[in-house]
Structure 1
Amino acid sequence: MEIRTKMHTIFMLVGSTECGKTTFAQDVLIPGLRFGDETSKLKANIQYLSSDRIRQEVLGYDYDKYDQVMLEASEQAFHLLFERLKMVTSFPVNADFVVVDTTGLAEDFREKVREIARSNHYNLEVIVFDYRKREDYYASERSKRLITNHINRLKKDVLGALPREGYEKIHKVRAKDFYRPEESTANPDYRVIIEDSEAYRETVLPHGPQYIIVGDVHECVEELKGLLLSYGFRI
C-alpha cells in the first residue's frame, strides 16, 4: 500500500475498535511522515491526537480503554481533542501533519474535524480500515460484541458516506498485515510518500546566517537605502 500525501495534512483514522489503528499510526504512518534537514535545522512537526490517550490524561491514570470511567470522560476528552486540533493547525504552530486516532464512525465528529481543517486551510485525508477478511477485525479476543457493532456501522453508514464528505483522499487499508509482531517491525510494503516535501524544504532558509527581511517599502527609497547601508551593503 502506498499513501501519497502533501504537507499540512490532517489524517483522520476511521475503523472499529481493536482493528489496529493505533499500531498503524505509530509504527507505519508517523515514521513514514518524518523528515528533517540538517542545513536548515528543519524537523517535521507531527502531532498525534488519540481520544483514548486524552481520556487517560484528564483522568490522571492509564485506565484500560474499556473501563467505565474512560467512557464517562468522553465529553471532556473530545472537547480537548478538538481544541488541540485547532491549536496545532493554527499559526504559529502549523504542524506539518496531524494524526487523529479515534474510531471516526460518528458523522458529527467527522464534520467537526472537516470544519477545523477548512478553517485552518489544511488538507484532510481519511485512512479507513476496511478489511477484506472479517476475521481481521477479530484478531483480539476482547469486546467482540462492540467490534461487531462497529463493523456494522462502518459497512452500513460510513463507507458510503465518506466519498460524499469532501476529503482530499480516502486511503483504504484492506488487510491487517501492516505490522509484523514476530519481528516487531512494520511491513515494508506499506509506504508513505510526501509529494511536496522537497518543494516545502526549499522554502526554509539555511540555519546560521543572519537575514534581513524588508516588507513593503511604501516608496520610501531613501529610507530603504539607509537601511541597506546600515547593514554594510554598497549601493
Structure 2
Amino acid sequence: MSKKVRVRFAPSPTGPLHIGGVRTALFNYLFAKKNGGDFILRIEDTDQNRYVEGAEQYIIDALNWCGIPFDEGVGKEGGFGPYRQSERKTLYKKYADDLIANGKAYYAFDTSESLDAHRKEHEEKGKTFIYNWHNRLKLDNSLSLMPEEVKERLANGDDYVIRFLTPPDEKLQLQDLIRGTIQIDTNVLDDKVLFKSDGMPTYHLANIVDDHLMEISHVIRGEEWLPSLALHKQLYD
C-alpha cells in the first residue's frame, strides 16, 4: 500500500466498552499491525447529554487489558490531536460554514414541537415523516426564508441546526469491501443534522472531518453504520 495505513476506533464515552466495540477495535488493530500502520483511539464525545464520568478511562483500561493498545490518542499524543471531539469544536464550525457557503447545507429553525407535530400528522396518515427534498421548502429553514430574515434570526440567537442538503434524483455508487458496490437513490435519504446551535457537531460531521484531518486510510466499523455510508460519502466529496 502506497499510503500509510491509519485506522481508528472511535467510541463514545457513554458507558462501559461492550464486546461489539472490542471486536471492532480488534479488527482495526490487527489490520494496522499487519500493514505496518497506526491504530488511533479517538473519543467521540459530541453528545454531552449522554456523557458518563469515568467511561473514557474505562475504555482505555479495557483496550489495554484486552491486549489491544493504541498507538496514538488520548494520553499518547501524535501530530493529529486533540483526540477528544469536544476539544475540536472550532474545527467543525469552520467546515459547517463551508458547507453552507457552498450550497451543500442550510440552517433549519424548526422547533422540536413543530417537528413532532409533523411526525404525528404523517403517522395518522400511515406515512413516515422525512425531512428532505419533498418538504424542506415548506418548513422553517434558510431555504424557505428570505436571506434578511435568516440573518435576523441568527443575530437574535434563535435556536437552529445545520442540515445537509441532500441532492434529489441522484444514484450514489458506494464501495464497501464486504458488501461490494451499493447503489443508493438520494430521494430516499433525509437531510441529516450536522451541527447544533450549542456549538457541537453531530457524529456525522465530526466523524468525517476528523477522519480527513487525521488522515485515516480505512474505515473499519460495525455493519450498523452501513446506512450512514451514503451521507458520509457525500460529506467526504
TM-score interval for Structure 1 and Structure 2 normalised by the shorter chain: under 0.3
Choose between structure 1 and 2: higher strand proportion: 1
- TM-score, length basis structure 1: 0.25
- TM-score, length basis structure 2: 0.25
Of structures 1 and 2, the larger Rg is shown by 1
Identify the structure with bigger relative contact order (alpha carbons < 8 Å, sequence gap 6+).
Answer: 1
